[in-house]
Structure 1
C-alpha cells in the first residue's frame, strides 16, 4: 500500500479527496495545516481555523484515518505574509494563493509528509495530473480540472516537476456537484459547508485592515484621468523590430497629476490595485470610477470613468527572467523563439489566445484581444489545450 498524506482543510473538497484515495487502496493520513492565529484581522465567524481543524478531525474520524495538526504559521508569515507586505509596498498586487501552494502546501508541508514516509501528497484541488514519457524520462503534466467552472490549475501554476511527481489530485475528474453528492452520501460534516473565501488559510480578510498592520495609512489624492487624454490617442504604429513593438504594447504609462483633476482623497495608494472599483468613496460621476494606476512613491491613485476606460487596457505584458517558470521545462522557449498558447492573467478568467516571445531579458506575451487591468505582481499562466505549461509574475 502506498502511503498518502492529504492536506485536510476542513472543507468538502479535501474531505472527499481523502475518501477517494482510501477507496483506491492507499494508506491515508490526514494533516491539518495551521497557518494563522491572528483572528483580529479576519471577519468574525468567517472561516476561523479552529472550526476548520475541528471539521477536518471529524472527517478523519468518520473515515477512520489518522489525523494530526501541524503548525506552519512561522513559515507562512515569513514566506507569504511578509512577501505580501513587501509587494504592496512596491505598488504591486501579489497573489498569495499561488505562493501558498508553491511555498507552503507543496514545499514545507510536502517535506513534513515525506518525513512521515509518504509516497505522495494529496490536496482537494480541481485539477489533474498527467504523465508522458519523453527522451527516456517521465514528464508530469498539470492539467485543468474537468469542472471548468471550478478549475484551479491556475493556483498551481508555479509547481515544479519534482513537486508534481509527488502530488495527487483525487477530485480533478469530478465536478463540484458530484463532490457534494459523495460527501452527502457519506454523511460527512463538510457536505454542505460553504467554500472558504479570502486569503489562503487566513479566511475572509479585510485587506486594508490586514495591510495596516504593517503599511501605515497615509492620506493622498485620487485623480481622475479623462478618456480623451492625448496619451491614449497618440498611438505608435511604426517599429523597427518585433521586440520594440512588444516593449511599446506592454509599456506602463507614467501618469501626471495635471492630466486630470483631483476628485477625492484616500488613505494609502498601496491599499489599492489596478481595476479596483470598490473602496474609492467617490460619488457624483456619470460612470463608476476604476483604478487605472497607483503611484506609491507620490501616493496618488489614478482613476478613470467606466470599465471601458482606455487606461485599463493593454495588449501585451512582460515577465522578467527571474520570475519566469516553466512547469514543462522541456517546452521552455530559447532566445528568439515564439509559441502560440492560451493564457490567463487571473483566476477564473476565460483563456485568451496569445503568443509568447522569448527575448534576452525575459518573455513577452502578446494577446490577440486587449486585456483589462493587467496588474504587476499578479501571475500570468499559459496553456496548450488543457495543459498548463508555464507561468510568471507580471512585471
Structure 2
C-alpha cells in the first residue's frame, strides 16, 4: 500500500515542489488549500489575496494529477490566531502569528483534517528537516534546520511536539531555494517564478494598524524621548546575594516614567507599535533616527531613543513563564536549578547567539553572552544545539 500524504498547497513554489517530490518518492499525494481569511478590507488586495493563491494551488494539483480541495478554516483561524493577536497587542505584547499559525492551524486543525482523510503524513513546504533517533527503545523525532541557511524556517516550527513531528514530512528541507525554483520550472509548474508571499500566515500582506484598528480604537498619546545618558542606564552591576537576584537583574526591563524624558511627538495608539520599530513615528529633526525602546499601553505612551545603539534597546536576558516553556525534545528538558549552554535566537533569521538556559521554579531565564537588541514580549525565543532546535518559549 502506498503511504498517503496530504500536502498543504499554499499556491507558492515551495509547497508545489514539495507535492511533486513526494509524488516522485512514490507517495499517494492529496493537495489541500487552507482558506483562513474572509475580510478583504484590511488586506493590501493586490498582494497575494487568497483567491489567486487557491487558483495557483489548484493549477499545480491539476498539473501533477493529484486530488485537490479547499478547506475553510477561517473560523478556527479567527478564534486561535486573530483573537489571540488582538489580545496580545492590547496587553502591549507583540505576537508572532507565523509561529502560532503553525502550532494552532497547520499542525493541529489542518493535521486533524488530513488524518481524518486517511493520511499517514502531512507535508509542508518549510525549509527544515526531520531527524529520527532511537533512545531507550523509543523513536525520538528531531527538528533540524533547513540546509539553505538563508531560508531556514525551523524557528517558525519551534512550538511543534513529538506527536506532530512524527506525522510530518518536509520534502524540501535538504534543498536550496534556487534548486526548488529550478525543479518548479523544469516541471512547468505555474508557481515557478512566483514571488514568496510576505505578511501574515495565509492572509497575505496586511496593513497591521488597519488590521488592529478593527478592534483596538486609535487613541492619541505622547511620544517621549529618553536620553542615552540617563542614570537608569548606569553600567554599575550591583552585588547579588544569590543567583536568583542576578538572573532577575539580567532579564529585567527598564522601567520608564513620563518625567524621564521629553515629549517629541504624538501617536495614535501605543498598541500599534513594537520595540525596535523606527518607521511610523513621524518625528523628525533629531540628529539620529528615533527607535521605540518601550511601549506603555496602560498610560498610552511610547518611549523612544536616538540611534540603534541607544542603551535602552539592549538587554542581556529574558524570562519565560513556566507554562510557556516548550521542549520539542522533552527528553532533554532541564530540571529546576539546572543550566544548559545553547545557541538561541529571538527572531526569525537572527544569527544564532550563545546563551545559557537557567530553569527555576517560576520559569526559565535565557541569559545571552552578548546583549541583544529589542527583546520583545510576546515573541518567541528558540534554542538549538548544533542544527537541532530543542525548544522555545514566549518572551514574558
TM (norm. structure 1) is 0.99
- 1:89-238 matches, cutoff 5 A: 89-233=90-234, 235-238=236-239
SS of 1:128's equivalent? strand
Q: Which residue of 2 aligns with 1:352?
A: 353
SS of 1:40's equivalent? coil
- 1:1-395 matches, cutoff 5 A: 1-233=2-234, 235-395=236-396
CA displacement 1:263-315 (0-9 Å, x = unmatched)? 00000000000000000000000000000000000000000000000000000
SS of 1:53's equivalent? helix
**1 CA distance for matches of 2:230 and 2:264?**
16
**1 CA distance for matches of 2:118 and 2:94?**
38
Give the superposition deviation at 1:237.
3.0
Give the superposition deviation at 1:38.
1.0
**2 CA distance for matches of 1:44 and 1:83?**
23
**1 CA distance for matches of 2:236 and 2:209?**
37
RMSD over aligned Cα, in angstroms? 0.6
**2 CA distance for matches of 1:104 and 1:304?**
38
**2 CA distance for matches of 1:308 and 1:15?**
42
4+ residue segments displaced more than 4 Å = none
Give the superposition deviation at 1:234.
5.3
CA displacement 1:161-187 (0-9 Å, x = unmatched)? 000000000000000000000001001
Give the superposition deviation at 1:255.
0.1
Aligned length: 395
**1 CA distance for matches of 2:387 and 2:144?**
6
CA displacement 1:109-144 (0-9 Å, x = unmatched)? 000000000000000000000000001100000000
CA displacement 1:326-370 (0-9 Å, x = unmatched)? 000000010111100000000000000000001110000110111
CA displacement 1:206-243 (0-9 Å, x = unmatched)? 00000000000000000000000100015333111222
SS of 2:178's equivalent? helix
**1 CA distance for matches of 2:325 and 2:362?**
10
Structure 1, unaligned stretches of length 5 or more?
A: none
TM (norm. structure 2) is 0.99
